[in-house]
Amino acid sequence: MDTNTTPKEPEFALTPDEQSAWKENGYFVRYDVFAKKENDVLRQIADDIAERKRPFPTENIDQNALARDGKVEASGIHAMHKIHHVSCYCPEFLERVRDPRLTDPIVDLLGSNILGLNNLYIWKSPKIGLGFPWHQDKWYFNWQYKTEMTVGTWTAIDAADVENGCLYVIPGSHKYGILEHGDLEGSQQNEFKIARDAKDEDGIAVEVPPGAVVWFNNQLLHKSTDNHSLRFRRCNVAHYISANAERIPKKDRKNVRPVMWVRGETYSEKMEPVYQDVLPIPDPN
């Protein structure tokens, strides 16, 4: 497994149409980026983490809010919502985060020196999987880094459609600036905030087959809906930041996001700590 190379020639660079879509809409989609076999490797690891067959820090595991609060009966992968910072602990996820099929287009957007900001794997279980409210990812990152733009990639592990809770985006909303985000009402995961000024009628569904990837500007307003189907809707999300971005120092170091080397140069004086490699899994005892 190769988790440490920076590709010489970008093979998967942005096309002119994608450049325009990025500028105008704040996102673009590519199909058939990853084969089923490749995504199955990630799916199996995530399932093993969910079923506690593979060690993983428990603080990075979030259960479905309905299952967690005892409102529905669910166990194993059916009771899962997401795991985060997966690439810090699983080399197969780290390899995916560094895969040039994801990162070549990002070189055209952020420059050649790139760090990984977060890597989430999300489950939306049949019938109980919960949506995410309208939000801008940069709202969550903004207080931690001085930088114009970060980029998210969203890879479909399963087909995602309106019935099972696909992504919705508001094209062009990356130009709105950062909106205020407030508390959520209802049964959604309570760790999320909602961008209240986002209007449902402006959103469009991004229905994609498995293996497709959505690249999105982290100021793009996006959301997803609950899973009303009998199918899973799983995805792998990786967020990227320029290594030139500066970390805003935090007094309480406890909840600092780990950043990881992805490709190019790092500037450790700007952003400490940058993990070059997979972290040891904490002893569960």
Ligand X SMILES: O=C(O)CCC(=O)C(=O)O
Applying CB under 6 A, the residues found at the interface with ligand X are 120, 122, 132, 137, 167, 222, 224, 235, 237
- For residue 44, give every residue at least 6 positions away whose Cβ sits within 8 Å of its Cβ, in sequence order, or none: none
- Residue matched to tokens 């990837």: 213
Instruction: Supply the minimum distance, in Å, between the C-beta of residue 129 and ligand X.
Output: 8
Q: Which is nearer to ligand X, 239 or 263 (CB)?
A: 239
Cβ–Cβ under 8 Å, residues 218 and 110: no
Q: Which is nearer to ligand X, 113 or 122 (CB)?
A: 122
CA distance 224 to 205: 9
Q: Which is nearer to ligand X, 74 or 206 (CB)?
A: 206
Q: Which is nearer to ligand X, 113 or 219 (CB)?
A: 219
Instruction: Supply the minimum distance, in Å, between the C-beta of residue 185 and ligand X.
Output: 18
Q: Which is nearer to ligand X, 103 or 224 (CB)?
A: 224
Q: Which is nearer to ligand X, 222 or 257 (CB)?
A: 222
CA distance 165 to 224: 6
State the virtual CA torsion across 104, 137, 61, 69 in degrees, nearest 10: -150
Instruction: Supply the minimum distance, in Å, between the C-beta of residue 167 and ligand X.
Output: 6
Instruction: Supply the minimum distance, in Å, between the C-beta of residue 222 and ligand X.
Output: 5
Cβ–Cβ under 8 Å, residues 74 and 49: no
CB atoms within 10 A of CB 70: 7
Instruction: Supply the minimum distance, in Å, between the C-beta of residue 137 and ligand X.
Output: 5
Q: Which is nearer to ligand X, 235 or 245 (CB)?
A: 235
Instruction: Supply the minimum distance, in Å, between the C-beta of residue 223 and ligand X.
Output: 7
Instruction: Supply the minimum distance, in Å, between the C-beta of residue 6 and ligand X.
Output: 26
Closest residue to ligand X in the complex (CB): 224
